[in-house]
Amino acid sequence: MNTTFEIPKATERRMILLMNLLDSYTEDKITSVDISRQTGWKDSVVRHDLWLLKKSAVESAETTINFDGVSNGYRTADLREAINQALGLEIQKKNCCIVGLGRLGAALLDEKLTEDSPFVIKAGFDSNVNRVEILRSNFPLYPAHEMNWVIKQEKISLAVLTVTDKDAQVMTDRLIAAGILGIVNMTRCVLKVPPEVKVENLSIINALKIVN
Amino acid sequence: MNTTFEIPKATERRMILLMNLLDSYTEDKITSVDISRQTGWKDSVVRHDLWLLKKSAVESAETTINFDGVSNGYRTADLREAINQALGLEIQKKNCCIVGLGRLGAALLDEKLTEDSPFVIKAGFDSNVNRVEILRSNFPLYPAHEMNWVIKQEKISLAVLTVTDKDAQVMTDRLIAAGILGIVNMTRCVLKVPPEVKVENLSIINALKIVN
DNA sequence: ATTTGTGAACAGTTTCACAGCG
DNA sequence: CGCTGTGAAACTGTTCACAAAT
């Protein structure tokens, strides 16, 4: 009972997407083939993922989730529960901040961004004091030099980085110094971070190059 | 001479990021260890990637790129050239469009988004005719029902999807019908697309869940 | 001595085949 | 029969070790 079984990254990503799909799914039951049709994933991938999920639930002994699947498809309610458990989301809202309030960053000040999500934005930062004063939002905006204390005081663990390329690594270093654990990087740059900090790259230009 | 050697996806992604790094790199030469230090990737990964790149150049017989690497590091100019060749970017600017002009989509109307990139935004679309009329941008905005002819006429091959969740699949289907080949999906939804259409998921909420 | 080039070993992911259950 | 559960097989990606080059 100590094999420390982890859900694979690839499966985790799919489960996050599946959860979104289930949130707007009204039927009582769903089969792996239904999911396959709506996502384009192979039905065997879906079953395999769900099998891994169950394995992880059993091994962590949290709850022996009963999918009640065989020959009937999965009950959607059970699936939602199982995925939430496995991903450890929705238990406690996590605090985030936005770093860089240019056009893109400012667009994220919209309160709708995080509604129905397990995240709360607690702060916005920009080196340009002017922007900090002019922009309106539901949460406070601060000049960038106040990042360290704000992040600590507000217990912010995640950041969305929307600064210019030249500021990307500098601001990342400051975020790390303040103890941030996850960064959503909307710049084109590769961020150098210590191994405990997770980065997800979301640059639109880079994405266009990939799908091109 | 017919083994159709393809650059692996993982390598391609890293090369896109490396290219961005090289663009702001002023030294004449760079070693795999230098790159490793600035990206966090293992130096062996870098060498392996570059080796694959060279293989692909040799096999496609385009140009036998001489990295001139051994014991000296790589010449940055050569690397840039090789990556550009391998990725087939920068040859011809590709036409894009933005679908959904809410707060996030509207932020992308900024001309700076695609400057210094091999992309040109040719059109923006929204179902809300009001938005189309009010918003200002360097390129024309159209009501969503005009998508089909605009995409064909302007030879648009890529789209950035910034609509609401409920419109995501509907708009995707229209984009596909109009012949789009790549979609940067900023919604939380999994998009169902035919195999020839590439999708890159860039939802901020999903990304926060991953780095959480 | 330093750094690339190369392929083999290893780890992670996807696909497949089919047993077993309702 | 239709659908899940399961592990093996095939595939992709990463790491390692060291020969070759200067």
Whole-number CA gyration radius for chain A: 20
Q: Is B111 on the interface with A (CB under 8 A)?
A: no
Residue B65: band (very low, low, confident or very high) from pLDDT cuts 50, 70, 90:
low
The set of residues, in sequence order, having a beta carbon less than 8 Å from that of A59 and lying 6+ positions away, is A1, A3, A5
Number of Cβ within 10 Å of residue B146's Cβ equals 15
Strands A158-161 and A141-143: unpaired
Average pLDDT in chain B: 92
AA identity, residue A9: K
Q: B13, B15, B16: which to substitute to probe chain A, counting the most A Cβ within 10 Å?
A: B16
User: Could A210 and B13 be called an inter-chain contact, meaning their C-beta atoms sit closer than 8 Å?
Assistant: yes
Q: Which residue is nearest to nucleotide D12 (CA to C1')?
A: B8
**Chain B residues 32-91 with CB within 8 Å of chain A:** 37-40, 87, 89
Torsion (CA) A131, A132, A135, A139 in degrees, nearest 10: 160
pLDDT of residue A66: 61
Residue B2: band (very low, low, confident or very high) from pLDDT cuts 50, 70, 90:
very low
pLDDT of residue A30: 95
Percent of chain B residues topping a pLDDT of 70: 94
pLDDT of residue A108: 95
Q: How far is the CA of A68 from the C1' of D4 (A)?
A: 9
CATH architecture designation of domain A9-87: Orthogonal Bundle (1.10)
Domains B9-87 and B94-211 share a fold: no
CATH of domain A94-211: 3.40.50.720
Return the DSSP state at A75: E
pLDDT of B162 above 80: yes
Nearest to B208 among A96, A103, A110 (CB): A96
Predicted confidence pLDDT, tens digits, chain A (212 residues): 446 789 999 999 999 999 999 999 999 999 999 999 999 999 999 999 999 999 988 877 665 566 666 678 999 999 999 999 888 877 789 999 999 999 999 999 988 899 989 999 999 999 999 999 999 999 999 999 999 999 999 999 999 999 999 999 999 999 999 999 999 999 999 999 999 999 999 999 999 999 99
Nucleotide nearest to B12 (CA to C1'): D13
Average pLDDT of span B49-64: 81
pLDDT of residue B1: 44
pTM: 0.94
pLDDT of residue B62: 62
Q: Which residue has the tokens 């990725």?
A: B87
What is the SS3 assignment for chain B? CCCCCCCCHHHHHHHHHHHHHHHCCCCCEECHHHHHHHHCCCHHHHHHHHHHHHHHHHHHCCCCCCCCCCCCCEEHHHHHHHHHHHHCCCCCCEEEEEECCCHHHHHCCCHHHHCCCCEEEEEEEECCHHHHHHCCCCCCEEEHHHHHHHHHHCCCCEEEECCCHHHHHHHHHHHHHCCCCEEEECCCCCCCCCCCCEEEECCHHHHHHHHC
The set of strand C positions with any atom below 7 Å of a protein CB reads 1-8, 12-17, 20-22
Span B139-157, pLDDT tens digits: 999 999 999 999 999 999 9
**Chain B residues 163-192 with CB within 8 Å of chain A:** 165-166, 181-184, 188-190, 192
Q: How far is the CA of A190 from the C1' of D16 (A)?
A: 25
Contacts with B188 from chain A: Cβ below 8 Å: 17, 20
d(CA A61, CA A85): 11
Say yes or no: Cβ of A11 under 7 A from any atom of strand D. Answer: no
Would you list the domain boundaries of chain B?
9-87, 94-211
pLDDT of residue B58: 81
